[in-house]
Amino acid sequence: MKRFLSSLLFLLLIFSGCDNVPTGVIQGRVFLDANNNGVQDSDEIGINGVLVELLIDPRNTRTSTSNGGTFRFSGVPIGPDEVLVTPLAGMRISTSNPRTRVTVFKDSATDVVVGVGKSLDVGSITGTVFQDNNANGTRDTNESGIAGAIVDLTTSVGTVVTLRTDGEGIYQSNLIISGNATLRLRESCGVKPSAGSTQTTRVFVGSVSPIKAFGVTPIKGRVNGLIFHDTNGNGLQDSGELGLPGWTVYSDLNQNNQYDLGEPATATCANGNYALDVPDDNIKLRHVMNLGYTSSKAVNVVAAAQVKPFIVGGQPAPEGAYPFMASLVYASASNPNSGAFCGGSLIAPNWVLTAAHCAVIAIASNLDVVLGTNRLENPVTRIRAAEIIVHPNYTPGPEDFDMALIRLSFRVNFPTVQPLMPLQGGLSAVGVKATVIGWGDLSDGGRNYPIDLHEALVPIFDQAQCNTAYTDPENPTNGITPRMICAGYPQGGIDACQGDSGGPLLVSSSIPGLWLQTGIVSFGSGCALPNNPGVYTRVSEFNAFLEAQIGRGLASEHDISLQAGQTREGASFAVH
């Protein structure tokens, strides 16, 4: 019946002479077919930067693969089309001939998978990450490998492959395109590279490149522990109580109960564990209390903790670069991709931060928040909003105080991102490259909304210049207020756009891998136009509002004294 109705609609459209041509989607991926067998085997990765063109679509569409080799054309007129994949130099298509014939159906997606390459074009690379106790840069007999370290490998054609060391500290990939490859050891939970965290090597076709070892130098002492969600508040980690990733643990050198730049600090790993290298013998170990939590009764684990010789523990950094990213979706839409209208960020277990101008167009009972995925498709974690709090000073038009909070109907375990505090302003100074993420329009007015989360780097823009750009001489009150922060390039070209509103503008904290949120996508004149930077809500101005709405308890602390080369185990914190 539905089918009949839609063909009827199709005929009606044709006969009414409507130029609204029915369209569908062509999407797919290009993978590196290392063994040239024409199918994607489990260890064969997607390949970015490959040119893909549609030959029949009159718009003469072309794109290149990204996000793990994927590509997508939307709005393709229905009927036959041909997909042309042009492999990178020295490679060839292994799955079919370079042209794939497809038929595009109305409102549905046609998938095309193309393999490129042959085994002759790739070689292997392997190496180790080890505990360089005497810091001499080479691996001596008593120096052990480090498990779970991450090495980013950039191939000669620019593809980035993330390698992880195994239990022996060995990383390996057999599918690296020949040519110069750059390897970089990532600083992450429990891993601090000694000098030379970047190395270049040559990958030879069909052979294994020389071992590249990375040393990790010990410093004076180390503290290990855990921050966990103590659901019942009894101070003990009971079964089912999970560790909390992305929390800041620091040694409070000046004892001001606050994390200051320059103090030794680290972020907890995916399982809530941390390993902090501390140069001082006597330290006050504290953690930053995130929004929406308070300490359980102080856990005095220090007395019970064992002291071990220095060993690098730690875990790999969490998978998924932005696990706190949220999408606001109308509850009435069955498909999250078609119902998404704004972004947001999880800042506490049951609170999502967004823009007021997003929140005022929804009511809680018809608002879902999608979390924990880069892809807006089913199945996803989709949670009904329980309450929407729009900032009381929000003024539509000038868009001052463009902030709102959405309370979720239950608490979730996804990592949160913490709002930038007033004292951390330096992390967000003019010129700092910030990252904006969202599912918004890919081109100004193009209505080209991706299924996959996109990211862009935008430098923080001078406040006065931004004010000039946005001040209407007829109406000088409508400028850039202290509640706003701008980001973008004088020449334009990179920006947030429609649909990105409510999503976060992020800056790196001083802790590797830990983001802080400095802005909320608010407005802009067009998208990516020269001298019209994106305007964001300045999150650091809203600390009192956020604490009043969500709350933040006090953190407990540990007094620890260490001798050189010792590790203190079990300095844990319980929060709920």
Given the rule CB under 6 A, which residues bind ligand ARG?
440, 495-501, 521, 523-524, 527, 534
Q: How far apart are CB 348 and ligand ARG at their closest, in Å?
A: 23
* 3-class state of residue 547 by DSSP: helix
**Sequential DSSP letters for 415-466:** PP-EEPPGGGGGGG-TT-EEEEEES--SSTTT----SB-EEEEEEBPPHHHH
* 3-class state of residue 356 by DSSP: helix
Amino acid identity, residue 447?
R
In the bound state with ligand ARG, the residue whose beta carbon lies nearer, of 329 and 562, is: 329
| Catalytic-labelled residue, pool 94, 296, 345, 501 | 501
Q: What is the dihedral of CA 460, 466, 470, 476, to 10 degrees?
A: 130
- Locate 385 and state its tokens: 């909003």
- Locate 262 and state its tokens: 């320059």
| Catalytic-labelled residue, pool 287, 357, 391, 454 | 357
Active site (annotated) includes residue 66: no
Q: How far apart are CB 104 and ligand ARG at their closest, in Å?
A: 29
Residues 6+ apart with CB under 8 A from 536: 436, 484, 485, 486, 487, 505, 518, 519, 520, 521, 522
- Locate 323 and state its tokens: 């696990």
Burial, 304: exposed, middle or buried (Cβ in 10 Å; 0-12, 13-18, 19+)? Answer: exposed
- Locate 253 and state its tokens: 């050198």
In the bound state with ligand ARG, the residue whose beta carbon lies nearer, of 54 and 355, is: 355
Q: How far apart are CB 496 and ligand ARG at their closest, in Å?
A: 4
In the bound state with ligand ARG, the residue whose beta carbon lies nearer, of 102 and 340, is: 340
Active site (annotated) includes residue 357: yes
Q: How far apart are CB 143 and ligand ARG at their closest, in Å?
A: 50
Residues 6+ apart with CB under 8 A from 548: none
Q: How far apart are CB 469 and ligand ARG at their closest, in Å?
A: 12
In the bound state with ligand ARG, the residue whose beta carbon lies nearer, of 283 and 466, is: 466
In the bound state with ligand ARG, the residue whose beta carbon lies nearer, of 386 and 430, is: 430
Q: For 111, which DSSP code?
A: E
Q: How far apart are CB 442 and ligand ARG at their closest, in Å?
A: 13
In the bound state with ligand ARG, the residue whose beta carbon lies nearer, of 44 and 500, is: 500
- The residue sitting closest to ligand ARG, measured at its beta carbon, is 524
Q: CA-CA distance, 565 to 206, in Å (whole number)?
A: 43
- Residues facing residue 131 across a β-bridge: 216
In the bound state with ligand ARG, the residue whose beta carbon lies nearer, of 361 and 464, is: 361
Would you mind telling me the total number of residues written for the chain in this entry?
576
Question: How, if at all, do strands 198-203 and 557-561 pair?
Answer: unpaired
In the bound state with ligand ARG, the residue whose beta carbon lies nearer, of 127 and 344, is: 344
CA dist 210 → 121, 125, 195, 377 (Å): 17, 7, 20, 43
Q: How far apart are CB 528 and ligand ARG at their closest, in Å?
A: 7
Active site (annotated) includes residue 452: no
Per-residue HEC secondary structure of 482-531 comes to CCEEEECCCCCCCCCCCCCCCCEEEEECCCCCCEEEEEEEEECCCCCCCC
In the bound state with ligand ARG, the residue whose beta carbon lies nearer, of 9 and 457, is: 457
| Catalytic-labelled residue, pool 252, 368, 402, 441 | 402
In the bound state with ligand ARG, the residue whose beta carbon lies nearer, of 268 and 428, is: 428
No. of H helices and E strands in the chain?
5, 36
Question: How, if at all, do strands 484-487 and 534-538 pair?
Answer: antiparallel
Q: CA-CA distance, 127 to 323, in Å (whole number)?
A: 30
The residue assigned the tokens 């300045």 is 538
Q: CA-CA distance, 49 to 156, in Å (whole number)?
A: 12
Q: Give me the active site residues, please.
A: 357, 402, 501
